Structure 1
Amino acid sequence: MPRLAALFTPERADDVVDLQTRRLLEDRFEVVWAGAEHAAGPGSPGKPPALDPAALPGLVAGADVLLTSWGTPHLPKSLWSDGKGPNVVAHAAGSVKNLIDPVVLEQGVAVFSAGPRIAWSVGEYCLAAMLTLARRLPRFDQAIRQSGWKQTTFRGHELAGAKVGIIGASSTARALITLLKPFGCDLVVYDPYLTAERADQLGVRTTTLEDVLQSTFVSIHVPNVPETKGMITRKLIEQLPDDAIVVNSSRGPAIDQQALLEHVLDGRLYAALDVYDPEPPTFDAAVLEAPNLLLSPHIAGDTAEGHLALAGYVLTDVLKWLEDGTRGPSFVDPAAWSIAA
């Protein structure tokens, strides 16, 4: 029976491993669970404690599979230095770029990430933000709270049939595209790595960044790489149509945040921001009170159901990989490392 080391504290295990997955783990692996004694500290309110890096060698010894998540320290190359390290790293969280070095993949270690499962949660957030702002719900909510009633100066709009511009064809973008299908939107995507064949499969059309930013709705889904930093410039923001809705759930540095907020504050644009530059942000009262701005604390991918599904999501693909080498949706392709989130 293969040996699996769960490299996160009991509190994190309660967050990302549901009961069915625990049973599956115990049935298919000899499991080594990290305990409270392996924590780096007490943690903080609402945030489980991280694993102490010093605990890694003892927990990893003899393991074939490593199950990781948030709070797992960086896995040093030394864990594989003798050529006998774990064959699989299964990350019950998103990006693995801060977890492992790419040289580990070059050594033939199979890496899996629950990013595609988190993507669905992000897609739901983006759809919710679009609908909320399109229907002007924050403005109506504010009016009611100020003893108002029917509004004659503004009216909500529909998402159905609208032009939706998507920047980046990542897994979160693909989740949003799926959710948008019933609305019959004109879906345009800017992504230099998206092939015509794949675009046709997704039911979208590819276009330029400038054209995407001529859409009524714009959603940003790019990785945090040098090429995406500041890609949505002040000039591009100025070219957005009046009353356009911008949703950023990917990376704060991708857009000129100050320029966007200026257009939000003068009432020309609507925006939903879940990520910022820097994080956490510091905003003045005018921004905090803007009724055409939705602010959330980097939680687009954070849902109760989504978190509990993460370990099971990657474990399903790990078992298929161990059985016959099948690359499931959570498999991290070494060839795509440079453009991954």
Structure 2
Amino acid sequence: MSRLAVAMTPQRAADVISAEARQLIEKRYEVTWADEPLTEDGVARLAAFSDVLLTSWGTPRLNRAIWSGGGGPRVVAHAAGTVKKLIDREVLDQGVTVFSAAGRIAWSVGEYCLAAMLTLARRLPLFDTAIRAGGWKQSGFRGGELTGHRVGILGASSTARALITLLRPFGCEVVVYDPYLDEERAAALGVRTATLEEALGCPFISVHVPDVAETRGLVSARHIERIPDHAVVVNSARGPAVDQGALLEQALAGRLFAALDVFDPEPPHLGESVLSCPNLLLTPHIAGDTVDGHLALAGYVMADVADWLDKGVRGPGFVDPASWPIAA
């Protein structure tokens, strides 16, 4: 029986491991559960005697020394998103296979983006503000729809792919700006490639790029000035990708609608005019944070581990060393 070490606090384990996943884990593996406090040295001791290491948010960074002398777990399963803060890229070259639950979190983010688009398209915050102020229907004003409109997506990440799937029933034409997306892969996704300017010319825009040097400042003030009037802009990716000040300025002027789940910096320092602006939907970096989504994370990533150990199959959570430089 393979040995599995769960390198997370009991509280985090309860957050990301469903009762069903816990039962399957304990049936298949000889399991060691971590206690509090969770320290780097404690995790190193757990890892030294495990074949599989299950981690999540709050797990201390894994020291490369864990794998010195050929020891350490051969599989790391991260029941969370990015692994860049957990493990060094060089460890993957030592024959360690890493899986991440980022793909499951992507579905939660996709649902957020769809919800934000529909909320702002229908101008629900405006109506909510009006009725709270004692008003009723506003003469000459009504919301719009998402159905049949063109959607511009920046970045063909896993969150973007989740949103693309969710958009299909709405009959939208989806165009994607991503220098790494070729025509064949775009066709498989049911989208077409576009320039940055074309994607930003759509009535609905959603940002899905990682935080790397090439994406910081990707959407500049000049780009924002050229976004069509009354467009809906959603940023659930990274704050530095968009000129936040310019976007807020255009929303305050009533020209654009925006849903911001990420900011630069975080937490943001926003004035009263921004906080009270009905053209803005503001959330505290929670697009991927749901009860259902969190409880599914360990099961998602451990299913990949089982396929890898039993069949040598790299499931959707496989962290490809070749994609490390552009990964989120």
Equivalent residue number for residue 88 of structure 1: 75
The Cα offsets for residues 255-301 of structure 1, whole Å up to 9 and x where unpaired, read as 00000000011100000000000000010100000000000000000
Q: Secondary structure at the match of 2:69?
A: coil
Normalised TM-score (structure 1): 0.95
Equivalent residue number for residue 308 of structure 2: 321
Which aligned pairs between 1:177-192 and structure 2 lie closer than 5 A? 177-192=164-179
Identical amino acids, percent of aligned pairs: 66
CA distance in 1 between partners of 2:211 and 2:129 (Å): 35
Which aligned pairs between 1:1-341 and structure 2 lie closer than 5 A? 1-35=1-35, 38-39=36-37, 51-341=38-328
Query: Contact between 2:107 and 2:163, CA under 8 Å: does it hold in 1?
Result: yes
Provide the aligned length of Structure 1 versus Structure 2.
328
CA distance in 2 between partners of 1:93 and 1:57 (Å): 19
CA distance in 2 between partners of 1:80 and 1:167 (Å): 38
Equivalent residue number for residue 46 of structure 1: none
Query: Contact between 2:76 and 2:96, CA under 8 Å: does it hold in 1?
Result: yes
Normalised TM-score (structure 2): 0.99
Deviation at 1:153, TM superposition (A): 4.0
CA distance in 2 between partners of 1:132 and 1:215 (Å): 17
Equivalent residue number for residue 45 of structure 1: none
- How large is the Cα RMSD of the aligned pairs? 0.7
The Cα offsets for residues 16-66 of structure 1, whole Å up to 9 and x where unpaired, read as 00011111111111101002xx32xxxxxxxxxxx2223122222211100
CA distance in 1 between partners of 2:44 and 2:260 (Å): 40
Q: Which runs of 4+ in 1 moved over 4 A?
A: none
Unaligned runs of 5+ residues in structure 1 are 40-50
The Cα offsets for residues 204-260 of structure 1, whole Å up to 9 and x where unpaired, read as 010100010100000000011110000100000000000011000000000000000
CA distance in 1 between partners of 2:156 and 2:44 (Å): 38
CA distance in 2 between partners of 1:316 and 1:280 (Å): 35
Q: Secondary structure at the match of 1:218?
A: strand
Deviation at 1:154, TM superposition (A): 2.1
Q: Which amino acid is 2:304 matched to?
A: D
